[in-house]
Structure 1
């Protein structure tokens, strides 16, 4: 699954969303062919001499060498080719847009995330909080809501404190990405070494006073100033029995929320307390809707995209998981899991890689 958040036009995000799956599959098949031939030569002597069929041989290979690194390499090649394709087309059509890309691959019970720009991916994972820890969480959330100017029922607050007095299961955020902002030390060093400069405009650090990210697909006018399309990629990380959700969302969600605020919204004890009453019903239907509505409530003025996928039950296959996505355009209209979604009319695209 992937979120692309475009800027200065939708061309780059649209191309990335259209090509990622195609390029990823093509590179996967190509690398599988090369890898299969290599493994066949390497493992042929390990086959038992009992007339096993070719299918048994394939099973042996897959059991012993599931190609996690192959999938990672296929993804990196796909991203590179998308940026190359856009960079070739952009001058021809006189476009200069760019896009972030945050992509998560799930294989067996492991996850890999590749990130370019300032969209985020993170896990919401269960922990047990003692009564004192749970009460501290209640106080923190209540203070945050007051700071945001959101009123809460005193009855709800006391009910939540009563629940916390027994301890509870709570969701904590485990971030999987680091934003590529121009004032991050390593990003700043690369940009300045390439002849670019970092200045602030409207309180935001920007490359040459314009671009608010230091890595992006596209943005051909900034390539010579150290803006690159190379993603930061996690290792394959094993999902644990405590991991409940994978969240990917564009930076508009985090204009007013932190990843932990999102997990608070999804935590069963806190969900009704962290969202307005008019949004409670939407949280029961769509977690992505809940996240975006909460960001709106807190005052985010950017357009937003969010994906949630449950991962807690590892016995569920990827095909059976209920993935939830939502994108909101500049008109502040909400389209949920619908063919009428504004993906093609805004600069944000959601791609589900299943």
Structure 2
């Protein structure tokens, strides 16, 4: 798709022009010139580049190698012009989400998604431990924190007035606004962690000092630039050509670099009765938001980040999951389960329910974001086996 063709589309269309309009603006002249007769008979329907098989159905974007037609969204014209190729608009109405309590007394998982600006979308999952306080705090304030760092917004009325000064005191020193989304997410994680620490120490509730949460946050800019930041063992997976691309790496004491940092800071690793390593015998991860009592033992809030450009002809979806799913269902299984579903909401429920069927007892949360190749890589041979080996699943898959 040339930039000239897209500029022509802007002049003749508007930002809600559908894909067939773009096809028309690009191929109208060729269609008039290259009309062919099907089956060698002038009495039968004619076929063209719009209707290559004479079926009466219009050509899809996938016929032209751009993206699959199962996601019925208009293109984003400014980003399409910027990148020189059509980019579909990702609608929040099509995002799927599900959260199951499992066999726990309380669901400490939280998730969210929002449009921060016309260009930037936000998706997140948080898996709380030691109570839901830290996960609730992140769920409530992370979105606003990112907006403040990116766009220099004041806290506004959307933040609890009792916490407004705690958070804005950190943001005001971050001017001018930051454009690099990896830096934005790193700053947001660190500032939220500081704000929660101040909130916990001013609170009469002493349990907040041992409350913590994982955090996996994704920002999508212009429908094509995907940036993910994570602490803990919640995950982000991109499904490309039907195969999982892991965008996060678990922060667990099994990692040599993480274990060395814990030891250098004076912490220690202890194994529980089932052979799982924990920091100071308490925490199964080496990075988190909150867990204030373990900060001096090397548990940090700085996330690892990853940036990737989407290929809408190949990328089907992004899925964010908490460890209630990750410990029981491996990345390829998640891709396979989602690819069998008709829509992202059904897919999110299928993933969480499958984790329960496989035996998870933890809270299980999934957020599924569809991209251009949604529905393109279905595998009709997938078997939903309840007897597959535990060794093929879990955090090491």
> Structure 2 length normalisation: TM-score?
0.53
Secondary structure at the counterpart of residue 88 of structure 1: helix
Q: C-alpha deviations, 1:296-338, integer Å up to 9, x for none?
A: 1111111111100101259xxxxxxxxxxxxxxxxxxxxxxxx
* C-alpha contact 2:319 2:367 (8 A) present in aligned 1: yes
* C-alpha contact 1:183 1:198 (8 A) present in aligned 2: no
**Counterpart of 1:80?**
190
Residues 1:260 and 2:374 are matched in the alignment: no
Whole-angstrom distance in 1 between the partners of 2:343 and 2:369? 14
Whole-angstrom distance in 2 between the partners of 1:251 and 1:121? 11
The equivalences for 1:323-342 within 5 A come to none
Residues 1:306 and 2:377 are matched in the alignment: no
Q: C-alpha deviations, 1:35-67, integer Å up to 9, x for none?
A: xxxxxxxxxxxxxxxxxxxxxxxxxxxxxxxx9
Residues 1:219 and 2:291 are matched in the alignment: yes
Whose radius of gyration is greater, 1 or 2? 2
State how many pairs are aligned. Answer: 223
Whole-angstrom distance in 1 between the partners of 2:303 and 2:332? 24
The counterpart of 1:114, out of the listed 229, 244, 247, is 229
Distance apart, 1:72 and its partner CA: 2.8
Residues 1:5 and 2:65 are matched in the alignment: no
Whole-angstrom distance in 2 between the partners of 1:266 and 1:234? 23
Residues 1:27 and 2:141 are matched in the alignment: no
**Counterpart of 2:136?**
14
Residues 1:209 and 2:291 are matched in the alignment: no
Secondary structure at the counterpart of residue 235 of structure 1: strand
Residues 1:124 and 2:239 are matched in the alignment: yes
* C-alpha contact 1:111 1:239 (8 A) present in aligned 2: no
> Structure 1 length normalisation: TM-score?
0.60
Alignment RMSD: 2.1
Secondary structure at the counterpart of residue 18 of structure 1: helix
Whole-angstrom distance in 1 between the partners of 2:127 and 2:281? 20
* C-alpha contact 2:287 2:302 (8 A) present in aligned 1: yes
**Counterpart of 1:232?**
304
**Counterpart of 1:199?**
270
Whole-angstrom distance in 1 between the partners of 2:196 and 2:316? 36
**Counterpart of 1:296?**
356
Residues 1:98 and 2:220 are matched in the alignment: no
Task: Pick closer, same or farther for the CA change 1:68–1:298 going to 2, 3 Å.
Answer: farther
Q: What runs of 5+ residues in structure 1 fail to find an aligned partner?
A: 32-66, 127-170, 272-281, 315-354
Q: Which has the higher contact order (CA 8 A, sep 6+)?
A: 1
Q: C-alpha deviations, 1:207-237, integer Å up to 9, x for none?
A: 0111001000000000000000000001343
More helix by share: 1
* C-alpha contact 2:225 2:307 (8 A) present in aligned 1: no
Task: Pick closer, same or farther for the CA change 1:68–1:124 going to 2, 3 Å.
Answer: farther
Whole-angstrom distance in 2 between the partners of 1:226 and 1:284? 38
Distance apart, 1:75 and its partner CA: 2.2
Distance apart, 1:185 and its partner CA: 0.4
Whole-angstrom distance in 2 between the partners of 1:19 and 1:285? 25
Whole-angstrom distance in 2 between the partners of 1:81 and 1:196? 23
* C-alpha contact 1:24 1:75 (8 A) present in aligned 2: yes
Q: What runs of 5+ residues in structure 2 fail to find an aligned partner?
A: 1-122, 154-176, 375-397
